[in-house]
Amino acid sequence: MVKILRCRLVLLAALLVFSAAGFCFAGDGDSWRLVSPELLNAGGLKIVWQNKLPIKKGENLERLFILGNRIYALSDHNYIVSLSGQNGNIIFSRSFAEYGFPIMGLALYGDQLFSVIGNKVVEIDLDSGVQHSATRLDLGIVCPTARNSSYFYIAGSDRRMHTLRADDKVALFEVAAENESMITSIVADDDIVVFGTNTGTCIGMAPQEPKRLWQFDAADSIVGPMVRSKNALFFASRDTNVYKLDIITGRLLWKHQTGALLESSPRVTAEKVYQYVRGRGLAAIDAESGRLLWQLPEGAEILAEAAGKNSYVITKAGELVVMDNNTAKRLYSVNFAKVSRYVANVTDSRIYIADEAGRIACLKPIK
C-alpha cells in the first residue's frame, strides 16, 4: 500500500512539473478547450480536432493562414507551425525568420511555400519546412509577392513590378503604372498578371513580357490583396466600393457601394463576397449580381460557409453568429470569448480558431 501511494505521489509530482513548464494536455477539461462542446452542440457545431502549438512561454500566436489542406500558425517571434487541416497533426515547426523581421504574406505554389522576409523572397519545402532559397533584392518590397509556373512578380518601393525567372531568380523586366503610383497588390497565373495601385489603377499584363492588356481605374486606392475567382477579379477600394472585373478583359462586371471607407480585402467564396466595412460590420454580397444579401453590424470576419446556406461570422464582442443566407436572419450565436485568433476559410465549412497562447481548434457543422 505504501509503495502504491509513493508511485501516485511521484506521478502527481511529474504532472505538476509538466504543468509548471507550460505543457498542456488534451484531457485537461474546460481549461484546455477554447469553446464548450455543449455550447457548440447547441449551435449545431462540433469539435473536429484541437491541439496546442509548440510556441515558447512569453511568445504569442500572431496570425493563421489556410493554404491547400494545411494550416500555418505564425508567432510574434516569427516561429511557424504547419498543421494538417484534416486532423490537426503538426507537420513541421521551425523559426521562419529572426525576431523583429517583417514577414509579408505566405503563399503556396506546387510543393513550395514562399514569402517575403524583409527584402528577401524566401522559398521553403511544404513538408519539411526546410528553406530552399532566399533571394535578396536591392530594393524594399511593399506587398506580398505573386508567382506562376515561370516567374515571380515583386512590387518594389521604386513603384515598379519586377519580374524574376522562377528557377534562377534572374531579373527579366519591370513595369509601372503611367502615374508612377505605388503597387498595393499583385495576382498572377500563367495567363495573366494583374497589379493594383494606391491611386486605384488596376493593370492587366501579359505574364511573359512587359505588354499591357487592359487598364481599369477606380477612384481611390486598391486595398490589397485583390482576389481572383475563376475569370473574375474582386477588390476593395478606399472609394467605398467593392469591384468585380472580368480578369481577361478588365471589363467592370459590377461595383457595390458600401457607404463607408474600406480598409481590408474581400473574402470570396463560390457564391458570395464578404466585406468588412468600418463602422457598419460585415456585408454579404451576391458574387454574381453584386446585390447586398445581409449586413451584420457587429460582424468582424467570415470564418466559413456551409454550402452557401449558412455563414459563420465572428463578432467584435467575441461571439460566433450563424447567419441564414436564404432568409438573411441570425439563427443563433455561440460564446467565443476565449478566441482571439482566427482565419477566413472560403473553401469549405471548417472553422479554424485559436488564442494567443497557441491553443488551436477546428470545428465543423453537424450534418
Read off the pLDDT band of 25 (50, 70, 90): very low
Q: Which domains are assigned to the chain?
A: 26-55+266-367 (2.40.10.480)
Distances (CA, A) of 206 to 53, 157, 173, 185, 269: 42, 22, 12, 16, 27
Residue 165: pLDDT over 60 = yes
For position 31, what pLDDT does the model report? 57
For position 202, what pLDDT does the model report? 98
For position 57, what pLDDT does the model report? 87
Read off the pLDDT band of 169 (50, 70, 90): very high
Mean pLDDT of 189-217: 97
- Residue 66 corresponds to which amino acid? I
CA distance 76 to 59: 6
CA distance 331 to 104: 37
First-last CA distance in the chain: 51
Residue 20: pLDDT over 60 = no
In the predicted model, what is the mean pLDDT of the chain? 91
Mean pLDDT of 107-127: 95
Full-model pTM: 0.90
| Contact by Cβ (8 Å): 242, 255 | yes
CA distance 131 to 31: 36
CA distance 177 to 145: 17
pLDDT in tens, 74-102: 999 999 999 999 999 999 999 999 999 99
Read off the pLDDT band of 53 (50, 70, 90): very high
| Contact by Cβ (8 Å): 321, 296 | yes
Mean pLDDT of 197-219: 97
| Contact by Cβ (8 Å): 82, 92 | yes
Distances (CA, A) of 282 to 294, 312, 350: 8, 11, 19
Read off the pLDDT band of 1 (50, 70, 90): very low
Residue 296: pLDDT over 90 = yes
For position 8, what pLDDT does the model report? 37
Q: Which long-range contacts (CB under 8 A, 24 or more apart) does 314-317 make?
A: 314/339, 314/342
Residue 28: pLDDT over 70 = no
